Amino acid sequence: MQVLKAIFDGYEIKLIEPIKTKKKTEVLVIFPNEVEKIPFAEARKLLKGCGKGERLTEKLLRSRAEDIHFEKR
């Protein structure tokens, strides 16, 4: 998973840093609650522990290996 910084001006989402991919990619945008603002560093720590016990790393590596296999065909 790649984390990017962007600014939302009410109409558009503008990236602060470039995206390191050249193909179309599905993205997930998460907006913090206006009442409870969390600093960027803390939000990243909270996301880091998501999915513990679900073996997400292994699933992602297996999925990527399958992608590479299909790309070589």
pLDDT of residue 7 exceeding 80, the answer is yes
Among all chains, which residue has been given the structure tokens 């998460």? 30
The number of domains in the chain is 1
Quick check: is 13 in a domain?
yes
DSSP letters, 26-41, are -----PPPSSS---HH
Quick check: is 40 in a domain?
yes
Q: pLDDT tens digit string along 14-64?
A: 888 888 777 887 877 877 666 667 777 777 777 766 666 667 777 888 888
Quick check: is 1 in a domain?
no
Q: Return the pLDDT at 43.
A: 75
Quick check: is 21 in a domain?
yes
Quick check: is 67 in a domain?
yes
Q: Smallest Cα–Cα separation from 23: which of 67, 61, 62, 73?
A: 67
- Domain extent at residue 53: 6-72
Q: Return the pLDDT at 3.
A: 77
Q: Return the pLDDT at 40.
A: 76
